[in-house]
Amino acid sequence: MATTNLNIRTDKEVKDKAELIFSQLGLNMTTAINIFLRTTIRENGIPFQLKLDEPNEVTAAAIEEGRRIAKDPTAKGYKDIASLRAALDV
């Protein structure tokens, strides 16, 4: 199989962070990009969902519940993990 070079531009911080993750996975940048490209071919499209940063219904409900609890002056609070664990019987 013949190979070719692929030159891309990206922010240095993005590249550095990605390389760190790939390294922890035992991959280098070339292997990671090849995985992406081969998966794109296999899936016949981008191999992950492209969507706006909007929470799904469950997450939106959890966010709303958290906001409601945060505003509730009668909501029980804990000052340390030991108190929380005791309340949870853990």
Can you tell me the distance from the alpha carbon of 7 to that of 34, in angstroms, rounded to the nearest whole number?
13
Decide: 43 and 37 in contact? Cβ < 8 Å: no
| Nearest of 88, 64, 58, 63 to residue 76 by alpha carbon | 88
The answer to whether residue 53 scores a pLDDT higher than 90 is no
Q: What pLDDT is stored for residue 52 in this prediction?
A: 78
Per the model's pLDDT, the better-predicted residue between 52 and 11 turns out to be 11
> What does pLDDT average to over the chain?
93
DSSP code for 83: H
Q: How far is CA 29 from the centre of its chain?
A: 19
| Nearest of 23, 39, 31, 29 to residue 8 by alpha carbon | 29
